[in-house]
Amino acid sequence: MIVHIPHPDLPPPSTSTGIIGWLRSNLFSSPANSLLTLFALYLLYHFIPPILNWTLLDANWVGSTKDACTNDGACWVFIKVRFHQFMFGFYPSSEYWRAILAFILIGLLILYLLIDRTPKKSWVAAFTVLIFPIIAFFLFYGGFGLPVVETYKWGGLMLTLILSTIGMFFALPFGIILALARRSSMPIPRALSILFIELWRGVPLITVLFMSSVMLPLFMPEELRIDKLLRALIGISLFQSAYMAEVVRSGLQALPKGQSEAADALGLGYWQAIFLIILPQALKTVIPGIVNTFIELFKDTTLVLIIGLFDLLAIIQAAFTDPKWLGFSVEGYVFAGLLYWIFCFSMSQYSQHLERKLHTGHTN
């Protein structure tokens, strides 16, 4: 019997595998592509080495005065000397532990809530929303034996985080109410909600901050003095809640009508249907949208420097005017940019991860 043994497969040609194959298909697939690659390589060659030299290789790391910066590169000593101020503003250094403790606590709580399948999530969530803000307030501001730190001393990254977290804390529930009102069958709540949302979404945040800092004192009784930080927070929360309302509304709209009809059929009342059936599903689908809104809010908090609060950007900007440290603005901006970038980028990666996780449908 003759057994036909086919000739074993030849290996693929060496020009289509390995590094050479990858280069051919990804960088030099056509003459135009090759030109593009060479141009891109030229750009990289032109920009990357000077940037590396400036930021790392020729940079100055040690010392404590301007004179220590003798190399051509960046003078990171400036950042090192002012690091505490950039983090905490004018918060007294003996009380730093309070701010750090508050941030560690909220970080742990959020981490606990974000990790899948941790037990007793609802209790932890209730604690985070209802009790933790009170603890945080006393930690930051003082009271119960802790010395009081007035809000004008708050600043730096701490203030940026406080502004964006509290802004979010108020914007989310208010946004949900607005979104429900906009979808309501009653004409008056719907009209009011549309008016509110379109008004705030149509104007820039700066004018809102101007308004809250200039006009709010006019609106309130004379004897009521509103703290500058509080005024900014009111402006930011109102502004953000309009955006949040639109995000939540998109989630409500995406929910099939059968869900609310099923709730009606089960005999649930309006609020029961909202809290047990509608909101849990709608909010889940818009978590990425909520995270994106939070990123926007985080970036927008920089605007408070225009009304005279010292957030991260403002305090770095203020440090440039120190006569002992003139001429280090690039270092300052790079440092601020790096911090903002790390926060925003990690949050946007998380949001994309969620989008992939929640995306169970089949689209093209």
Q: Among all chains, which residue has been given the structure tokens 């929360």?
A: 237
Q: Which of 284, 282, 292 is CA-nearest to residue 259?
A: 282
Q: Which stretch binds another protein (CB under 8 A): 1-9, 128-136, 248-256, 305-313?
A: 305-313
Binds another protein (CB under 8 A): choice among 215, 276, 326, 358: 215
Binds another protein (CB under 8 A): choice among 151, 283, 329, 350: 329
Binds another protein (CB under 8 A): choice among 109, 226, 268, 344: 344
95 near another protein (CB under 8 A)? no
Q: Which residues contact 12 (CB under 8 A, 6 or more apart)?
A: 21
Integer angstrom CA distances of residue 197 from 32, 189, 246, 248: 49, 12, 8, 12
Q: Which stretch binds another protein (CB under 8 A): 136-144, 165-173, 271-279, 330-338?
A: 330-338
Rg from Cα positions in the chain: 27
Residues 242 and 201: beta-carbon distance below 8 Å: yes
Shortest gap between Cβ of 186 and another protein (angstroms)? 5
Backbone angles phi, psi at 40, to 5 degrees: -65, -40
108 or 192, CB closer to another protein? 192
Sequential DSSP letters for 12-43: PPGGGSHHHHHHHHHT-SSHHHHHHHHHHHHH
Q: Residues 155-189, buried b or exposed e (16+ Cβ, 10 A)?
A: bbbbbbbbbbbbbbebbbebbbebbbbbeeeeeeb
199 near another protein (CB under 8 A)? yes
198 near another protein (CB under 8 A)? yes
Question: How far apart are the C-alpha atoms of 291 and 100, rounded to whole Å?
Answer: 24
68 near another protein (CB under 8 A)? no
Binds another protein (CB under 8 A): choice among 264, 345, 352, 357: 345
What's 4's DSSP letter? P
Q: Which residues pair with 311 in a beta bridge?
A: 156
Q: Among all chains, which residue has been given the structure tokens 């946004």?
A: 175
Q: Which stretch binds another protein (CB under 8 A): 8-16, 69-77, 217-225, 251-259?
A: 217-225
41 or 266, CB closer to another protein? 41
Other CB atoms within 10 Å distance of the CB of residue 18: 10
Binds another protein (CB under 8 A): choice among 109, 211, 268, 318: 211
Binds another protein (CB under 8 A): choice among 83, 97, 219, 275: 219
Binds another protein (CB under 8 A): choice among 49, 217, 280, 308: 217
189 near another protein (CB under 8 A)? yes
Backbone angles phi, psi at 178, to 5 degrees: -60, -40
Q: Which stretch binds another protein (CB under 8 A): 128-136, 137-145, 151-159, 188-196?
A: 188-196
> 3-state secondary structure string, 126-142?
HHHHHHHHHHHHHHHHC
Q: Which stretch binds another protein (CB under 8 A): 83-91, 139-147, 332-340, 353-361?
A: 332-340
Total residues at interface with another protein (CB under 8 A): 56
Question: How far apart are the C-alpha atoms of 332 and 317, rounded to whole Å?
Answer: 8
30 or 94, CB closer to another protein? 30
Binding mask 5-34 for another protein (x = CB under 8 A): ---------------------xx-x---x-
Residues lying near another protein in the complex (CB under 8 A) are found at 26-27, 29, 33, 36-37, 40-41, 43-44, 185-189, 192, 198-199, 201-207, 210-211, 214-215, 217-222, 295, 299-300, 302-303, 305-306, 313, 317, 320, 329-330, 333, 336-337, 340-341, 344-345, 348, 364
